[in-house]
């Protein structure tokens, strides 16, 4: 192996960094897996519980994402006030309990309660994991480390697709969620994988109010606005597509699984590539490039939706190519690292990221209503494209500077 690649490998994974990155990556994979698995099983769940996918189930989707905002606020404060490891372990236990509870849901209300518990636990993982990685890696390596961590998102989507579409029809949706409680075993390895918890002095812990005062007011407003828009684009595009293929086009669960695995493969490549490209050409510039690719791809798919969905293989290829534009998510962890000091970092990252997800309480029922009223899910792709274009503009409002105290 040439000296250059070997040096990069040693810097990324040596000195105990690889162990930290691997644990945070696994925690995030199973976190997002527990959240997104519902998208691949909700048709079967709706049928068994006598619920409408575009009605009550859409509201459960929305409330689950809203619950991630609650979890984000809560776990972010725990992480900054009492230590990263403790908060991360607690979030894993909570989302695993929610997944386990989903398996025993008997009606709308019990399903809603279990999914909201899942959402609360899920809310803590992303921000805390990115804060730990940012504090483990020097600034020159953060983009690449964040890209690898963020690649857990499409990996989790592919895993959820495999379980939901291939195992689900064989073992049933309840068994799928029972198995989803197993990530709780990760907490056994937390002490060995993560650095000792640093408990800050009370005076050194920031507050939510401080995020909206100088010098943090501008990055807070810009990041919150960007995440609200970007999150809407993601969930409107991807949360409804498995349902659209199953109900609108009569695809088999196995095909939906293959479709999602293809899209996930493209997204994994995009997340990793984004980190390397951003370190070389600049985060905001590469973010705008990727948004342009995402927007253009969705507009083409939406414009040719009726034709493309007649041949699902071509549709899968088109959505996989569009998926390269989702590498933008690798940018956010680093943006939080460069804009906030350690005492506020998990609070800001967990809170703002999950406020963006929580706002989907509005968009998910709206997408359900739009599909029911128009008879097609193509409208969700138009919404996703618009949000991608707006994100390409908003990224330039986010400060992107290197903190002198964290070189």
CA dist 176 → 29, 37, 38, 108, 338 (Å): 16, 9, 10, 19, 39
**Phi then psi for 324, rounded to 5 degrees?**
-60, -25
Identify which of 183, 193, 191, 186 has the alpha carbon closest to the alpha carbon of residue 136. Answer: 193
pLDDT confidence tier of residue 312, bands split at 50, 70 and 90: confident
Q: Tell whether the model's pLDDT for residue 197 goes beyond 50.
A: no
Report CA torsion sign: 400, 206, 21, 8: positive
Compute CA distances 384 → 10, 34, 159, 286, 298, whole Å: 39, 23, 23, 19, 7
If we measure between CA atoms, which residue out of 383, 351, 369 comes closest to residue 74? 351
Whether the pLDDT of residue 199 is over 60: the answer is no
Residue 24 has pLDDT above 50, yes or no: yes
- Of 41-55, 231-245, 325-339, 380-394, the one with minimum mean pLDDT is 231-245
Torsion over CA of 398, 367, 71 and 330, rounded to 10 degrees? Answer: -40
Evaluate if residue 405 carries a pLDDT over 60: no
State the pLDDT confidence band at 223, using cuts at 50, 70 and 90. very high
pLDDT at 196 over 60: no
Q: Please compute the mean of the pLDDT values over residues 25-49 and round it to a whole number.
A: 88
Cα–Cα distance for residue pair 36/163, rounded to 1 Å = 11
CB atoms within 10 A of CB 386: 17
Quick one: average pLDDT of 212-218? 91
Quote the mean pLDDT of the chain. 83
- pLDDT recorded at residue 101: 93
**Torsional sign, CA 372, 375, 379, 380:** positive
Under a CB-based contact definition with an 8 Å cutoff, are residues 112 and 244 in contact? no
pLDDT of residue 192: 58
Q: Where does 50-172 have alpha helices with state H?
A: 58-82, 84-102, 108-136, 139-150, 152-162, 168-171
CA-wise closest residue to 335 among 376, 389, 388, 396: 396
Whether the CB-CB separation of 347 and 206 falls below 8 Å is answered with yes
Query: What are the residues whose beta carbons fall under 8 Å from the beta carbon of 137, sequence distance 6 or more?
Result: 12, 17, 145
Task: Note the helical H segments in 239-359.
Answer: 241-243, 253-281, 283-303, 305-308, 312-323, 332-339, 342-358
In this prediction, residues 88-117 reach a mean pLDDT of 91
Helices (H), 163-213: 168-171, 173-179, 190-193
Per-residue pLDDT band at 343 (split at 50, 70, 90): confident
pLDDT in the model for residue 74: 86
Residue with the larger pLDDT of the pair 383 and 195: 383
Q: What is the pLDDT of residue 203?
A: 43
Question: Domains (ranges, CATH) in the chain?
Answer: 12-188+212-406 (1.20.1250.20)
Q: What is the mean pLDDT of residues 89-108?
A: 90
Taking the C-alpha atoms of residue 53 and residue 74, their distance in angstroms, rounded to an integer, is 30
Which residue has better confidence, 64 or 314? 64
Does residue 8 carry a pLDDT above 50? Answer: yes
Can you tell me the mean pLDDT for 47-57? Answer: 87
């Amino acid at each position: 192996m040439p000296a250059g690649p070997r040096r990069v490998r040693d810097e990324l994974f040596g000195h105990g960094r690889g162990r930290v990155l691997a644990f945070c990556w696994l925690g995030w994979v199973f976190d997002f897996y527990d959240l997104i698995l519902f998208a691949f099983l909700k048709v079967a769940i709706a049928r068994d519980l006598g619920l409408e996918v575009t009605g009550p189930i859409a509201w459960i989707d929305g409330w689950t994402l809203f619950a991630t905002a609650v979890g984000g606020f809560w776990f972010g404060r725990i992480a900054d006030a009492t230590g990263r490891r403790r908060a991360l372990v607690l979030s894993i236990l909570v989302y695993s309990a929610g997944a386990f509870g989903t398996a025993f849901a008997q009606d709308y209300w019990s399903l809603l309660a279990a999914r909201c518990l899942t959402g609360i636990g899920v809310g803590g993982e992303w921000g805390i994991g990115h804060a730990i990685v940012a504090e483990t890696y020097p600034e020159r390596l953060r983009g690449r480390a964040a890209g690898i961590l963020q690649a857990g998102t499409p990996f989790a989507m592919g895993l959820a697709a495999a379980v939901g579409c291939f195992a689900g029809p064989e073992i049933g949706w309840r068994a799928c969620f029972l198995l989803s409680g197993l990530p709780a075993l990760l907490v056994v390895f937390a002490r060995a994988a993560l650095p000792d918890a640093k408990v800050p002095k009370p005076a050194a812990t920031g507050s939510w109010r401080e995020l909206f005062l100088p010098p943090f007011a501008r990055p807070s407003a810009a990041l919150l606005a960007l995440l609200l828009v970007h999150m809407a684009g993601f969930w409107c595009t991807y949360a409804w597509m498995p349902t659209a293929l199953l109900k609108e086009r009569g695809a088999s669960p196995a095909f939906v699984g293959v479709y999602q695995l293809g899209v996930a493969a493209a997204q994994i490549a995009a997340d990793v590539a984004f980190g390397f490209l951003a370190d070389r050409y600049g985060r905001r510039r590469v973010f705008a490039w990727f948004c342009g690719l995402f927007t253009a791809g969705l507009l083409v798919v939406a414009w040719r939706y009726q034709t493309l969905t007649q041949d699902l293989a071509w549709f899968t290829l088109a959505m996989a190519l569009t998926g390269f534009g989702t590498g933008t998510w690798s940018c956010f962890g680093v943006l939080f690292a460069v804009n906030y000091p350690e005492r506020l970092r998990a609070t800001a990252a967990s809170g703002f990221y999950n406020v963006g997800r929580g706002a989907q309480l509005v968009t998910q029922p709206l997408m359900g209503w739009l599909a029911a009223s128009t008879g097609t899910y193509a409208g969700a792709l138009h919404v996703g494209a618009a949000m991608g274009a707006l994100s390409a503009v908003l990224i330039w409002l986010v400060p992107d500077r290197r903190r002198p105290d964290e070189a």
